[in-house]
Amino acid sequence: MGDLDQIDRSLLRLLQEDGRRTTLDLAGRVGLSPTGTSQRVKRLFRDGFITAVRAMLDPR
């Protein structure tokens, strides 16, 4: 596992708040290109920082 920089931590926080954010939205929020953002998110998955994307159901 590699080290996380501020952008990686920001991406993790944003995805934790809303895992449905698009790459374009994430890129705009962290100040990277969509390609660079996509590469970082893929690396976060590959390195085990993100392990799954889940739906949370309302029990009602």
Q: Where are the domains of the chain?
A: 6-46
pLDDT score recorded for residue 12: 97
Q: What pTM was computed for the model?
A: 0.87
> pLDDT tens digits for 1-59?
568 999 999 999 999 999 999 999 999 999 999 999 999 999 999 999 999 988 889 99
Span 6-46 CATH architecture: Orthogonal Bundle (1.10)
Single-letter amino acid code for the residue at 29: R
pLDDT score recorded for residue 55: 83
pLDDT score recorded for residue 54: 86
**Helix, strand, or coil here: 47?**
coil
3-class DSSP string for the chain: CCCCCHHHHHHHHHHHHCCCCCHHHHHHHHCCCHHHHHHHHHHHHHCCCCCCCCCCCCCC
